[in-house]
Structure formats: structure tokens, C-alpha cells
Amino acid sequence: MPIPSTTDLPKPKSWDEFEDIVWEVYTRKWQAPHAQRYGRSGQAQNGIDIYGQQNGSNNYTAIQCKRYGENKLTIQKIANDVTKADSFSSLISEYLIATTESRNTKLQDFIRDLNDERKSENKFAVHIVFWEDLCSCLAHLDNYDLLRKYYSEWEQIFANHPRREEEKAVSTRSLLSLDIQRDCNLLQELLDHNNQGYLAEKWQSCLSQNRGMWHDISSRILLTQGGDELMQYIQGFYEKLDSIEEKCKELLELKSKVQPLEAKPKYGNGIPSFGTIHPPNWAKEYVTEPDMLALLTCKKINSMKLKSLKEIIRAALDSGNQLVDQLNQQ
């Protein structure tokens, strides 16, 4: 059975009902409880049916509603309404044309070219909202009450819609929990090893390969139902993994500097000293005092980086385990 987001909802039977739907959707979308229908039938409206201040803006966003039966929305009609809106008494930052028409490439191309021209003239942008776009807005969980209000006869679809969305959310949390658990297993393995080569070579990009659910946009949208705090925890966990990989890369770079020095043989039973004089060419094959100083410095840096890495691994492991518990409990 289809759900509202994929269903071709019947178009409103009257222009007044269509304006009501658009007004209610955009009052919420703009977070503008004082958005209003402009004027009434028979009055000059400057090509505007609805206007409001979006998210507390000082400028106005305006909407022209175009419901059609047999007639069609044309380029000329759009151009005429935009010209009228240019004379609106208040400053408009954005102009929307909401229509019952289905998506149309010719209209979309015209709007894009029109905006290029208007941008050069420092005029407000124009956008077209097709019926499919409005259906998607109505199908959003936040607008479920509007969907029921205007399409109450679709009761069976409504009954299944929240349950399916919740099933998707549960499935997403479960899959993300598995991803993070795998990361935790890798972190524990990493924590149990002290060999520098193992730490650097195996882990420089290992953890970033296990983020399928987190990189999926639709999954992130479902995860937002768990709240901003949960999203911040997840983001923080993956930032720790990024830091671990970066430090592993640093250790690998350090190793590439140390290996040539460690591979050099000593000269006889000791280390030749040449003071401030440049060593002869043959001495480059042997360990010198500068080599030993560089080797000691590298090992000291390596020890500090290794200690820092272990601390981040422990923090990431604790964070990951807590997230697994939290995701499984929701």
C-alpha cells in the first residue's frame, strides 16, 4: 500500500481550499504564525495571495497560488504576476508561485533564466512550487494533521503512515548501532596493540570505511527524531575516529623518518664526530651524531603521539559503547 509521500494526492476542488493548504504549510515552514492571506477576491493583490516574514526576517516572502483545472500555468502568466509583485508596497526577499501543475521543464527553465536576469537587477528571486512538492510537504510527519484535515477519506493510508515511519527509524537506529559496535570492536583491538607499525599502517583509513548509515542523508533525517543531543553525540564520536586516523597517519610519517636512521650501520665500534665540519661523503652511510639526535627526537615525539592516541582511543571507545546502549534503548 502506498504512503502519502509517494501517493498522488487528489488536487483541491476549489482555489480557496488550495490557498488554505498552501497557507497552512508555509505558516509552519516559515515559522511565521502571523503569515496572512492577502486581501480577498475582487481586490487588487499585486500578484500576491499569501505573505509572511520567514524565520523572523525583516523582509517578506510572498506566494501566488495557481490552481488549475483545464487551464494551464504559462510563462506569460508567471511573468505578469512577477511584474505585479514588483510593485508590492513592502520589500520582498522571495516570491513563490505555488501551483497544482505537475513539474514542467519549460517553466523551470524559464524561472532559472528569469532569476539570472533579476539577480543582475538586484530584484527578489522567484521560485515555483509544483503539486508534487506540496504533496511531499503534506506527507512530512510534522504536517500529518494537515494531511488528515484535507484528506480525511484516506484513513487507511494515514493509519499505516506513522507506524511505517517509526519502523524505518527503529531499523535505522539498529543499523547505526551495529556500525558503531563494529567500530568499538576495532577500537578495542587497536587499544590492545602497542606496536607502532601496526597502529599506523592498519588504521590510517580503517575506521572511515564503516560509516554507511551516517553518510546516508535519509538515515540522518530519521535519526533526528532522537533529538539534537543524540546527533551531537554521534557527530562527536565520528570526530574522534577522524582524529584517531589522523594521528595514525602522523605516526606512519614519523616511522618513515626513523627507519632510514635505524637502518644505518655504526662506524667501527663508535659514532664518528665531525663537529662543525661537513662530514665526508663516505660518512653519510654511517650513523652520525646528528643522526642520533634526530633519532632520539623522533622517538620522543613518537612516544608523546602514541600516548595521546591511546587517550583518544579510550575516549572514543567509551563514547561508542554509550551510543550503542542509547540507540538500542530508543
Helices (H), the chain: 15-29, 75-85, 105-120, 131-139, 144-150, 155-191, 196-203, 212-215, 217-223, 228-263, 289-329
**pLDDT tops 70 at residue 165:** no
Taken as a whole, the chain contains a residue count of: 330
Answer whether 4-153 and 163-266+300-329 agree in fold.
no
30-44, 86-100, 195-209, 244-258: least confident range:
195-209
d(CA 141, CA 148) in angstroms, rounded, equals 11
**pLDDT tops 50 at residue 276:** no
pLDDT tens digits along 219-274: 777 777 677 788 888 888 888 888 888 888 887 787 777 777 777 776 555 555 55
d(CA 285, CA 265) in angstroms, rounded, equals 7
Q: What is the pLDDT of residue 292?
A: 77
Averaged pLDDT score across all residues of the chain: 80
Confidence class of residue 114 from pLDDT cuts 50, 70 and 90? very high
Phi, psi at residue 237, to the nearest 5°? -65, -45
Beta strand 50-52 with 36-37 is antiparallel
Q: What is the CATH number of domain 163-266+300-329?
A: 1.20.120
CB 147 within 8 A of CB 158: yes
Q: What is the pLDDT of residue 1?
A: 47
**pLDDT tops 90 at residue 117:** yes
Helices 289-329 & 228-263, crossing angle to 10 degrees?
A: 160
Q: Which of 28, 328, 290 is nearest to 174 (CA)?
A: 328
- Beginning with the edge strand found earlier in the chain, give each strand of the sheet holding 92-99 in spatial order: 36-37, 50-52, 60-66, 92-99, 125-129
CATH architecture of 4-153: 3-Layer(aba) Sandwich (3.40)
pLDDT tens digits along 18-61: 999 999 999 988 888 888 888 776 666 778 999 998 887 788 89
List Cβ<8 Å contacts ≥24 apart for 113-116.
114/78, 114/79, 114/82
Q: What is the pLDDT of residue 107?
A: 94
Q: What is the pLDDT of residue 146?
A: 85
Domain boundaries of the chain, sorted by first residue:
4-153, 163-266+300-329
Q: What percent of the chain has pLDDT over 90?
A: 22
Amino acid at 21: I
Q: How many CB atoms lie within 10 A of CB 20?
A: 17
